[in-house]
Structure 1
């Protein structure tokens, strides 16, 4: 029996898969307030699966250009909105840019194109907001995934709006009555 020249660091166990075979969880970021909720749900799924995030920044069709890649200022602005929430979780991420198609296509054109981008990254799960640009809301992505046999799509509802201040009416039992300032 001959001994292997390169011993396995795991003591005979199979080596981990190459980084190119990782199946990230995709988060569709459409430059809206819902992006934070989408990124939080996607990061929880990615943590459970121990895979990175594919942060897909959706750009309007008029911002096309060869210099508009993941390091461009508009893309960084979209990603900066979600980084404070997913950064402390220490989840790896892959930035990606998706350009909305020009007007004139079918209702599901954008959804099919986005799912094609996700399949190039071997994404098994996509997280999107229920409200989004036409063709990129979660319901359109679910329909396109069903027609295409694509990844599982999670629909995230936007966070409900709550007031940051308590009502200041004197009839409220917890709010003391406000009195004007005086020097007396």
Structure 2
């Protein structure tokens, strides 16, 4: 029997994480301006633990897989917006899509479904923005996690707005 030789990767491209017994850090991306802060915080946690980042792109219920690859164009756009910022800093990433429930649904039910998706990937930590779509803000996720006895939810505050300064004449 011959031993398999392991060769280190020389390029800096982000790589998909292997599904195994790793416990990734989940980042809830809701196609808002806070996504960069959420992804960066999740990448910092994941890098400290040497685990991949689970990037959960939240999509409306009417966006489904069309035939243009594994993910539809809106999902690829959300992921492409955050990958340049966190790509070099992470040990791997797992892309995932969460579709908001169609029809009337309680806010805790939507949050519980998202936490179930994160639990399927064995993610003990979920990073979410303080403001988000109805039922998927960090406070609703914290409430749903407390009811379920599940994951720890990290809250990320939106970045403070600063006006652009023009050069003084």
Question: TM-score w.r.t. structure 2 length?
Answer: 0.84
TM-superposed deviation, 1:103: 2.8
Equivalent position of 2:61 in the other structure: 61
Aligned counterparts of 2:50 and 2:90: Cα–Cα separation in 1: 11
Could you say if the C-alpha distance between residues 69 and 139 of structure 1 is closer, same or farther in structure 2, counting changes exceeding 3 Å? farther
Checking the alignment, whether the CA contact within 8 Å between 1:128 and 1:156 is kept in structure 2 is yes
Structure with the bigger RCO (C-alpha within 8 Å, sep 6+) is 2
Larger Rg computed on CA atoms: 1
| Closer, same or farther: CA 29–69 of 1 in aligned 2, 3 Å | farther
The correspondence of residues 82-97 of structure 1 with structure 2, limited to 5 A, is: 82-97=82-97
Partner of 1:108, secondary structure, is helix
Partner of 1:44: 44
Unaligned runs of 5+ in 1: 10-17, 169-174, 177-184
The alignment yields a C-alpha RMSD, in angstroms, of 2.2
Using the alignment, how far apart are the partners of 1:129 and 1:101 within structure 2? Answer: 19
- Paired residues, number: 157
Unaligned runs of 5+ in 2: 6-17
Structure 2 equivalent of residue 172 of structure 1: none
TM (norm. structure 1) is 0.78
Alpha-carbon distance, 1:163 to partner: 1.9
Q: What is aligned with 1:148? A: 148
Q: Does 1:162 align with 2:154?
A: no
SS at match of 2:75: helix
